[in-house]
Amino acid sequence: MLTKKVMTLELSRENQFSDGYLYRSLELPAQEHEIRDALQQLRQRSADISPDQIAIYNSRYIPQLEDKRFDSPTIDELNFFANRIAQMDDSELAIFRTVAPKVLGSPADDLLSMKDLINVTYGLDDVSVISAPTSSSDSSSSKTNCTTM
């Protein structure tokens, strides 16, 4: 089953054999062999890499994640989260985009808990949404503003 990729991580690690760093991007959600391949290219033996070695640099559905610092994220947690986002239908994704900023907080906020963010992906069908269509100057495109109650 082919799953849409929803975010890209940049993994980095200090090169043990010469000066500099090793870098590898990883699109999520990823299969186990893709994660193993990325870790091998970093010469990393396990998925236990330091949080400062993981950065989200492309989040297609939640761009606010690119500015956030996470509290000890693991590749498995990020992959699970990306899988949850990839499985959402359009209405769940619209609700998530409305609710997520409340969990993400402001850019000045400290570390974000990955577990809290994962928990927000559950129970979205219980959220009441009022949608108000808005029109732009171009009549061929329309947008929907969602507000949670």
pLDDT digits (tens, 9 = 90+) for 98-132: 888 887 776 656 778 888 889 889 987 777 666 66
* pLDDT: which is higher, 11 or 44: 11
Q: Which helix or strand (DSSP H or E) is residue 39 part of?
A: helix 32-41
What gap in Å lies between CA 31 and CA 36, rounded to an integer? 9
Name the strands in the sheet holding 21-28, side by side, starting at the edge strand that comes first in the sequence: 21-28, 7-14, 54-59
pLDDT at residue 65 greater than cutoff 90: no
